[in-house]
Amino acid sequence: MPEESSAHTELENERQYVAGLYHRLDELRDEKREQLAQVRRSHSAGSHQNRSERDAFATMYEDRLAQLMAVDDRLVFGRLDLDDGETRYIGRIGLSTADLQRLMVDWRAPEAGTFYQATAFERQGVRRRRHLMLKGREVQGLEDDVLDYSMLEEGQDLQGEGALLAALNSKRTGQMSDIVGTIQAEQDRIIRAPLPGTLVVQGGPGTGKTAVALHRAAYLLYTHRERLKSAGVLLVGPSNAFIRYIERVLPSLGETGVVMSSLGQLMPGIAATAEESAEAAEIKGRLSMADVVARAVANRQRNFTEPRRLNIEGTWVTLTPKQVSRARDRARATGKPHNEARVTFVKILLRELTDQMTEILEESAGAGNSTDRAYLAEDVRSSRDVRVALNLCWMPLTPEKLISELFSKPGQLEAAAPELTDAEREALRRSPDAPWTEADVPLLDEAAELLGELDASAGRDSAALEEARKRDLANAERAIENTEGFLEDSGAHGILSAEDLANHNMATEQRLTAADRAAVDRTWAFGHVVVDEAQELSAMQWRLLMRRCPLKSFTVVGDIAQTSSAAGATSWQQALDPFVGERWTLEELTVNYRTPAQIAEAAVRMANAAGLVVSAPKAVREGLWAPFLDEVQQGGLLPRLLETLTEDLAAIEGGLLAVITEDHRLEQVREEVTAVYGNRVGTGAGGLSQDIVVISPREAKGLEFDAVVILEPSELLTAAAGKVGDLYVAMTRPTQRLRLIAEYGIPAGIDGSES
Check if the beta carbon of residue 504 is closer than 8 Å to that of residue 44.
Answer: yes
How many angstroms from the chain centroid is the CA of residue 123? Answer: 38
Cα dist. 462→267, 343, 344, 466, 467 in Å? 28, 18, 20, 6, 9
Please tell me whether 205 is known to bind a ligand: yes
Strand 138-146 to 126-135 pairing: antiparallel
Please tell me whether 618 is known to bind a ligand: no
3-state secondary structure at position 312: strand
Please tell me whether 206 is known to bind a ligand: yes
Check if the beta carbon of residue 97 is closer than 8 Å to that of residue 103.
Answer: yes
Check if the beta carbon of residue 89 is closer than 8 Å to that of residue 103.
Answer: yes
Which DSSP symbol is given to 437? Answer: B
Q: Quick one: CA dihedral 57, 60, 66, 70, positive or negative? A: negative
Please tell me whether 315 is known to bind a ligand: no
Residue partners of 619: CB distance under 8 A and separation at least 6:
206, 591, 592, 595, 596, 597, 600, 601
Please tell me whether 344 is known to bind a ligand: no
Return d(Cα 755, Cα 751) in angstroms, integer. 10
Please tell me whether 210 is known to bind a ligand: yes
Burial 115-129 (b: 16+ CB within 10 A, else e): bbbbeeeebeebbbb
How many angstroms from the chain centroid is the CA of residue 347? Answer: 42
Check if the beta carbon of residue 388 is closer than 8 Å to that of residue 308.
Answer: no
Please tell me whether 334 is known to bind a ligand: no
Partnered with residue 87 across adjacent β-strands are 81
How many angstroms from the chain centroid is the CA of residue 218? Answer: 14
Return d(Cα 526, Cα 540) in angstroms, integer. 18
Return d(Cα 35, Cα 32) in angstroms, integer. 5
Return d(Cα 105, Cα 109) in angstroms, integer. 7
Backbone angles phi, psi at 105, to 5 degrees: -100, 135
Residue partners of 446: CB distance under 8 A and separation at least 6:
289, 290, 293, 294, 540, 543, 544
Check if the beta carbon of residue 21 is closer than 8 Å to that of residue 106.
Answer: no
Residue type (1 letter), 307: P
Please tell me whether 204 is known to bind a ligand: yes
Backbone angles phi, psi at 95, to 5 degrees: -130, 140
Residue ranges for the known binding site are: 203-210
Q: Which parts are annotated binding residues for ATP?
A: 203-210
